[in-house]
Amino acid sequence: MFPILSGMVVTRAREADRGSALAIFTALFDAGVLLGGPTLGALIRAAGYPAMYGFCAVWIAFGTALFVAWERRR
């Protein structure tokens, strides 16, 4: 997934903004680890593993739907 999304960032960003676009794109993965670990850990502690996996499934489905909606507008 990373090479495909990275290619999309490069081809869709203006030439002058490509460096910034790639920096933000790669920083999003670090932000996900920084925020996701404690958030999911707290969810596991509060509601258990099934709730955490359910939350992740809903979050991924939401992200996919958002991506599809943006792609259709494009």
Q: What letters, b where the CB count within 10 A reaches 16 and e where it falls short, cover 36-71? A: eeeebeebeeeeeeeebeeeeeeeeeeeeeeeeeee
Per-residue model confidence (pLDDT) at position 27: 96
pLDDT tens digit sequence for 2-56: 899 999 999 999 999 999 999 999 999 999 999 999 999 999 999 999 999 999 9
Model pLDDT, residue 12: 93
pLDDT of residue 74: 78
The pLDDT score that the predictor gives to residue 46 is: 98
Three-state DSSP class for residue 59: helix
pLDDT of residue 2: 86
Domain ranges in the chain?
Answer: 2-73
